Chains A and B, each alone.
Chain A
Amino acid sequence: ETGVTQTPRHLVMGMTNKKSLKCEQHLGHNAMYWYKQSAKKPLELMFVYSLEERVENNSVPSRFSPECPNSSHLFLHLHTLQPEDSALYLCASSQDLIIGTSGEETQYFGPGTRLLVL
């Protein structure tokens, strides 16, 4: 248990569906992240939020829409996905955002949502 939870753990959806992934962190951290992990590819950063403000959007297609209503919760809204979007979606959080200071920027990951788009 890292203190970061994600629901659902598994999701199967059609290309016309709309669904949302939820992430909650119980660590009192200020920054939260969405990552995509596809088979045989490095982890790819999708979005970064700091104190509920989006600070990075890594050229992610608009069919992925993040929402951060407060510093403990992060959502990823999905609509009209493609089969190539099938992957493990990981949420992470960290105390600080700036890497290279105290180690407080260490990111802790949730268990992930395994998404299959048919």
Chain B
Amino acid sequence: RKEVEQDPGPFNVPEGATVAFNCTYSNSASQSFFWYRQDCRKEPKLLMSVYSSGNEDGRFTAQLNRASQYISLLIRDSKLSDSATYLCVVKGSSASKIIFGSGTRLSIRP
């Protein structure tokens, strides 16, 4: 079983829609959680960290449920520019090990 699992999608939604991605992780000792965004043929870049209390950054909301070992990302009022692959990232129990999920591909249509 992979340490970090994501719904691979693809998600194809109209502009203005709300879309949610989910991610589960297997190691209960994991310490830090992130969502990264990756555009086609580019390197991943940090979208947002995920905190236990949940956090919001503009149209993006991230949630963490440690009991269920579950992370989510909600995108409201989606824009064409949100089209990308979204990667769930978990910092493991051992010092500095960082594991990526396989990514969820999102396409926003006009």
Chain A bound to chain B: no
Residues of A within 8 A of B (CB): none
